Amino acid sequence: MDKKTTDIVCYLTWVGLIIAFVVGDREASKFHLNQSLVIWLASTVCGFVAVIPVLGTLVSIVGGIFCFICWFIGIIGAMQGTEKPVPVLGQIQLLK
């Protein structure tokens, strides 16, 4: 899988992220793999926070919208071939 395809596939779902990590061009796509991983983890955490009554639900909704916006920015960047970090979450480095 070439770099651009790997960049786009990693944003599609958790399965896409795993496929892109295993089959794709890991070294060239490290930036988008990392961003996608951070966005998916943040959205998962937002889902778990939703079980807390009232405040957790509010935080989950706002966090979910924020993660969706970050995901949208990330996938557009992948389609354009740019490596611009998403707001807040783009600063987190999980993959070295």
Contact at 8 Å (CB) between 85 and 33?
no
pLDDT at 50: 86
What HEC string does 63-93 produce? HHHHHHHHHHHHHHHHHHCCCCCCCCHHHCC
pLDDT at 83: 92
Instruction: Return averaged pLDDT per consecutive 10 residues of the chain, 96 residues in all.
Output: 90 91 86 94 92 90 95 95 92 87
pLDDT at 46: 92
pLDDT at 54: 86
DSSP calls for 18-50: HHHHHHS-TTTTHHHHHHHHHHHHHHHHHHHHT
pTM for this model (two decimals): 0.89
Nearest residue to 67 via CA among 52, 48, 83, 82? 48
pLDDT at 26: 81
